[in-house]
Structure 1
Amino acid sequence: MRPPLLDPLFAAATDLPGIGPKVEKLLKGLLGVSERDTRIGDLLFHLPHSIIDRRRQPGIANAPEGAIVTLKVHVDRHQSAPASSRAPYKVLAHDETGEIQLVFFHARRDWLERTIPVGETRYVSGKVEWFNGRAQMVHPDHMVDEDDFATMPLVEPVYPMTAGLSPKTLQKAIGAALTLLPDVPEWLDEAHAAREHWPDFKSALETAHRPDEPGDIAPTAPAICRLAYDEFLASQLALAMVRAHMRTTAGVARTSNGRLKQKILAALPFQLTPGQVQAIADIEGDLSKPERMLRLVQGDVGAGKTLVGLIAMAHVVEAGSQAAMMAPTELLARQHLRSIEPFCEAAGIKARLLTGKAKPAERREILEGLLSGEIDILVGTHALFQAGIEFHDLALAVVDEQHRFGVHQRLALQSKGRGVDVLVMTATPIPRTLVLTYFGDMEVSQLPDKPAGRQPIETRTVSLDRLSDVVDGLRRALNDGQKVYWVCPLVEESEVLDITAAEERHATLAQVFGNAVSLVHGRMSAAEKDAAMDAFKRGETRILVATTVIEVGVDVSDATIIVIEHAERFGLAQLHQLRGRVGRGERASTCLLLYKGPLGETAKARLAIMRETNDGFLIAEEDLRLRGEGEILGTRQSGMPGFRIAQIEAHAALMETARADARLILANDPELEGPRGKALRLLLYIFGRDEAIRLLRAG
């Protein structure tokens, strides 16, 4: 049971002032919690990225161009525009140094006359601009009388936002959330915290949301480092507890003579790469030992991970058991089944697909086949974790794109069988630091080489000003029988705007290419997405316009061109993932990165790296090096899954310390029973790692 002390953090965000159902929906997207209700704690971990300093009060005449200032002015007169005119409403005011115009578009006159009445003194704060020697302030951020000036925030935090949400609403809600923060006991080693000059947890959050200086929210600031360390410690402690638990639950040695593997290899139209041969040997070695396997197979885009997973599954099927293969989306689950089916048939292995969309009769038939042992391999999504799905003898779980599966799912899966071995596959090459972070409990196999016959991909950068040339090029490519992906840009973390951008691009291309253009985006149903993908696969459509839903795993071997629009908005790892959708067939392939100039230094460097190399591991290291502050690379795009506060480029050293700390904690107090142990249980709940607490005998 979660301790009642933490109830305020887990209360619904709708309990806060100004947050109704509509705002809560926007917050879900902003805070990345689409699968549950937004909690007060989610808001507290949404930290500001900068501050607005309103303490500068230079007087009108001395206000610098474009600077945010606060001015004490006397209101002289209101000047409304004629009803027929589109000119703005103006309020003229002065102080002892000079005069200023306050400018309002679409103004409500009655409201302005009440807020800044003629003859009164008001404090106004906002950006000053100079025109023809005259100062003006368009839509001041604050307009208050002398009494309210005492409560006006002179240092204001600036938060990452989403379309439709007002900064004032968010600030008000976070301010209210801070008043509910409970006093929690200290879970850090006191000597360590004192040495680092770190504040306690509550003070750290208060400083982060109410900074006095920009330095208070820098990644290296004591308050931010403290919170980043807490987040790392929760993650490392949970991983260490899962690792300890897996060691105490016995595995099963599963041996085979390789008969099914040979049948699969005989059906392959190509040879395995050296990396695949090595990974398979590693896995077979793990499976034949009585300890549980927990292995990560890291392959670059198109390195042949699915085949490695299939041969691992064939090993346990031959040993008389069953295997499950899970993907993060239905689209990918279907695709996995399609790619392994011919080899399963050749080897006499029975594989089925189970998704949330299965009809009741089909679902019943599959569940019976699983329980009787008639089905050897089950492919699906997270739905395979649900209660009611029982295997005859589940021996191996193959999990694709691990960063979408947390510790919680690993544990749920293990309850489905006896000593279940786990093989995790990721197509995102991960720098070593991140492997430690997120896969600290796994052995790692790498697939550095591409399968034979894979074509190199030529990458070019083209300015969006030359869009008509690109469309002409596509016309020639289509006449030559080629297929094209067109990926639309990310728009300010707003899925709605992403889709609008994709729909507009689809409409403009359809004017040129007619019915040859189809569209796929995140808001479509699974059936609609599948229909669009199948039409593209079969060649009924030849250009597929998509949002980033095609980022992972979609496989159309005869697609030879990918156009990525506004490539400067994407992270390196994501550009590399997208590029890997082509180059899968016989023909040479092209990736066109369309950008809108002028480019910043980081965007320039990113596009240059994409032109220079196809090596995903090299790109992953560069991505980490380049990912500086202020990049719009939230956790969804970067390789830093599951962290709200910690930033790997700033806090990598803290991760190593947290790892060592977690091991020491469990060595001294494996059940977390001591005073520090009990405080650490709170830490695990606060950072959503409470599934690990269930592993403790004491609850």
Structure 2
Amino acid sequence: MTTRLEDNFRKADRTHLAKRGVHTVADLFRFFPRRYLVPGESTRLGDLPLGETAIIQAEVISVSTRRMKQRRGTITEVIVHDGEQSMKIAFFNQHWLDKALTPGLTVVFGGKVESYRGQLTLASPAWLNRTEDDHEWTPEDLNSPFPIYPAVKKIAQSRLWSAIKTLLSVAGPEEFADPLPKGLREKYDLPDLRTALEDMHKPRRIEDVERARQRWKWEEALALQTEFVSRKAAYAQENATPLLTEGPKSRRFDSSLPFTLTPSQVRVGEEIGADMGREQPMHRLLHGDVGSGKTLVALRAMLTAVDSGAQAAMLAPTEVLATQHFHSIQHFLGEQMGLSPLLSEDDQVTVALMTGSMPARERRELALDLATGNIDIVVGTHALLSESTIFENLGLIVVDEQHRFGVEQREAMRAKGGESTPHTLVMSATPIPRTVAMTVFADLDISTLTEMPAGPKNIATHVVPIVDQPNWFARVRTLMRETVESGRGVFVVFPRIEPTDIEDPETGAVIGQKQGIEDLSRKLEDTPELSGKRFGLLHGRMSTGEKDKVLKDFADGDIEILVSTTVIEVGVDVSRATMMVIAEAENFGVAQLHQLRGRVGRDGSAAMCFLLTELSETDESFARLQAVAETLDGFALAEYDLDSRGEGDVLSASQWGGSSLRHLSILRDSEIVAEARRVAEQIVAVDPQLDAVPALKAFIRRVLPEGDAHFIEAG
């Protein structure tokens, strides 16, 4: 027996294992059981889910074998009982079971639950708690937790378990190089890697499994924190050009503001200014609730960069968001914004927008202006990352919606600073819970905006269960009409552009169709309450020019009711809008609902938000919508979202760009994370390159691959 996967599994089996993320023996060792059957647990045979694979534990009552009449071979019928109900299970061409299975024996069977002649049974059953070689009953299996692995196509549980146990016994020491330092294991009573793997796959007691699980949490916490501490140490070795804390352009801007900055905007501005005044580059995260004034804070920082003779760039993930930021900056600067490099006066700021859809000629001209220093501030999408985009003197990068950019993309942008590394400010659209900030943004300093510029918002939010309470939707439409007739605007948000088929979950047959955004708009226009009102449509497939015109018409009142997808989620500021209706609200996340709701009442006026749902009030997901309705506190909702969804969703692979954190809970394991941070700082202080801990270094690359987009999905 060798320790190569190809010598233990057929090519087809390896293909199925690869789909489960198992490519090496090390991967197989970390392919852990999803649960364990603990001896003594009773299984209710009557509650087995029809059509699903199930594991049962029961006592053998009788066994009989006979030859089949219609085809060659034998059938062994085993009757088992769980103390409440019996079940007959048939095994084909396994006549040896007649002797191996004896009445009174406790067995564990697995198979697909089916109905035969009105009785539940297991199709293609497998006897799990036996050895693979001689089919003999092993008494110690009955006295130990039995591992149940995630299903791998075409590979029986027993064969998978047998292969793992065999490989564990023959693998060499290189497979058990331990990422956790010995001193840390001893201090916290953690098993070494080999022991922990054996405890997961061959536990004698369920307590062994729990002890091993604690170790996996420490592994991931230490890997994560060591990576972040290493990054922070690397940042400290970089050189940046110190920038002014203020200058003529930033002073003119501050004096022209028609309102007073909030105390937290002042405090955060001072934190950013202090960072940018140093010779090491700033790496700071800015977050706050919806409408807390993050864009204004970022603009003030960019103006101080311009005062220092440097350029600033704001990077946004989409053209819609980049365009909205450009218009926001244009609005804030007013007459201080220069129309073009040629027409700008000395005390003005030249701002440009760069996107991938720009005509080639305009983009070449803009690239030339950036390279020659004629542009002070540029707002753009990934187009800013291209090799052809060169800056004369890039001093500050502002990254918005930073979770959508990976490390490689940020590094590509920072490399545009030449010999001097630009300062970096990253922004999150919604608040980040403290536990998440400590875990996921540990390589960044953090600034938090805690106040709202216009004071606390007044948005009355209501959940409307249109199936349980069909008359309520008519009342919502009446309120839409009244809002429009008072001179205010109404947003209607919808999750889809095109209609989509509704499929039967069992057969896959199309049984209906969900409406698209145009269908919804027409239905609303045809209702008696909204007949004759001026509707507009907005979605991501429209051109930038079309979207800009629709938003302008809505802001001017030419459009009274704007039916839109989530393109309005961030950055849209239409002060006359005081009502929002979100259709199929159950299809949006908590943070997204809160973000959308923030588009109304932006001038401080009282506003309304209605969450329409087909969910019943008894549905578990209804509570999520109710939570949004009950508070306007984005920080509280962020904590609720994390708690209710769990880290499995919040830190999913799609949001972490391929990271494989599986055991660490940022909610429940905050003490482990904090202690791992201290250990990581000690390691990096004496060994910045991690040469003395190669196993930890390798594990970091396993958990956080190179170029990993490791930032949390804030929306």
Tell me, yes or no, whether TM beats 0.5: yes
One of 663, 668, 673 as aligned partner of 2:681: 663
One of 111, 128, 136 as aligned partner of 2:120: 136
C-alpha distance after superposition, 1:437-479 (max 9, x if no partner): 2333433332211122774111223324246435323432443
- The residue correspondences of 1:58-69 to structure 2 (distance < 5 A) are 63-66=45-48, 68=54, 69=56
C-alpha distance after superposition, 1:85-113 (max 9, x if no partner): xxxxxx997738798689xxxxxxxxx9x
Q: Is 2:579 aligned against 1:561?
A: yes
Aligned to 1:419: 421
Aligned to 1:644: 661
- The residue correspondences of 1:418-567 to structure 2 (distance < 5 A) are 418-452=420-454, 455-466=457-468, 468-479=470-481, 480-481=483-484, 482-488=489-495, 503=515, 507-508=519-520, 510-513=522-525, 516=535, 518=537, 520=539, 527=542, 531=546, 535=550, 538-539=553-554, 540=559, 542-544=561-563, 546=565, 551-564=569-582
Contact 1:408 1:691 in 2 (8 A): yes
Aligned to 2:609: 591
Contact 1:371 1:390 in 2 (8 A): yes
The one-letter amino acid paired with 2:661 is R
Contact 2:616 2:622 in 1 (8 A): no
Please give the alpha-carbon distance, in whole angstroms, between the structure 2 residues aligned to 1:356 and 1:216.
55
Distance 1:330 1:612, change over 3 A: same
Aligned to 1:85: none
One of 121, 125, 128 as aligned partner of 2:111: 125
C-alpha distance after superposition, 1:638-681 (max 9, x if no partner): 9999663222112211111221111101112123232x2x3332
Contact 1:75 1:92 in 2 (8 A): yes
Please give the alpha-carbon distance, in whole angstroms, between the structure 2 residues aligned to 1:170 and 1:424.
48
1:314 deviates by 0.9
Aligned-pair RMSD on alpha carbons? 5.3
Please identify, of 200-209 and 368-377, the stretch whose mean Cα deviation from structure 2 is larger.
200-209
Distance 1:542 1:621, change over 3 A: same
One of 287, 301, 309 as aligned partner of 1:298: 287
Aligned to 2:711: none
Contact 1:18 1:173 in 2 (8 A): no
Please give the alpha-carbon distance, in whole angstroms, between the structure 2 residues aligned to 1:410 and 1:529.
25
Please give the alpha-carbon distance, in whole angstroms, between the structure 1 residues aligned to 2:66 and 2:574.
69
Aligned to 2:372: 372
Unaligned runs of at least 5 residues, structure 2: 99-108, 136-140, 337-347, 505-511, 527-533, 709-715
Please give the alpha-carbon distance, in whole angstroms, between the structure 2 residues aligned to 1:45 and 1:654.
24
Please give the alpha-carbon distance, in whole angstroms, between the structure 1 residues aligned to 2:403 and 2:114.
46
Aligned to 1:616: 634
- The residue correspondences of 1:311-330 to structure 2 (distance < 5 A) are 311-330=300-319
Aligned to 1:192: 184
Distance 1:432 1:632, change over 3 A: closer
Please give the alpha-carbon distance, in whole angstroms, between the structure 2 residues aligned to 1:96 and 1:419.
71
Q: Is 2:256 aligned against 1:239?
A: no
Distance 1:148 1:243, change over 3 A: closer
Distance 1:209 1:339, change over 3 A: farther
1:564 deviates by 4.5
C-alpha distance after superposition, 1:159-215 (max 9, x if no partner): 8xxxxxx97799999999988997152231112224444445577578668989987
Contact 2:33 2:200 in 1 (8 A): no
Contact 1:242 1:407 in 2 (8 A): no
Please give the alpha-carbon distance, in whole angstroms, between the structure 2 residues aligned to 1:264 and 1:682.
50
- What is the DSSP-based 3-state SS (H/G/I as helix, E as strand, rest coil) of the residue aligned with 2:175? coil
Please give the alpha-carbon distance, in whole angstroms, between the structure 1 residues aligned to 2:218 and 2:354.
40
Distance 1:589 1:120, change over 3 A: farther
Aligned to 2:354: 354
One of 660, 666, 672 as aligned partner of 1:654: 672
Unaligned runs of at least 5 residues, structure 1: 32-37, 81-90, 103-111, 160-165, 693-699
The one-letter amino acid paired with 1:535 is V
One of 669, 688, 692 as aligned partner of 2:704: 688
Please give the alpha-carbon distance, in whole angstroms, between the structure 1 residues aligned to 2:204 and 2:185.
22
The one-letter amino acid paired with 2:357 is K
Please give the alpha-carbon distance, in whole angstroms, between the structure 2 residues aligned to 1:212 and 1:357.
62
- What is the DSSP-based 3-state SS (H/G/I as helix, E as strand, rest coil) of the residue aligned with 2:668? helix
- What is the DSSP-based 3-state SS (H/G/I as helix, E as strand, rest coil) of the residue aligned with 2:422? strand
- What is the DSSP-based 3-state SS (H/G/I as helix, E as strand, rest coil) of the residue aligned with 2:184? helix
Query: What TM-score comes out, normalization by structure 2 length?
Result: 0.70
Please give the alpha-carbon distance, in whole angstroms, between the structure 2 residues aligned to 1:505 and 1:332.
21
Distance 1:602 1:475, change over 3 A: closer
One of 117, 138, 148 as aligned partner of 1:156: 148
1:305 deviates by 0.6
Contact 1:294 1:442 in 2 (8 A): yes
1:569 deviates by 7.0
- What is the DSSP-based 3-state SS (H/G/I as helix, E as strand, rest coil) of the residue aligned with 1:373? coil
Aligned pair count reads 619
Query: What TM-score comes out, normalization by structure 1 length?
Result: 0.72
Contact 2:275 2:282 in 1 (8 A): yes
1:336 deviates by 0.9
Please identify, of 50-59 and 403-412, the stretch whose mean Cα deviation from structure 2 is larger.
50-59
Aligned to 1:397: 397
Distance 1:513 1:224, change over 3 A: farther
Give 1 or 2 for the bigger CA radius of gyration.
2
Q: Is 2:599 aligned against 1:581?
A: yes
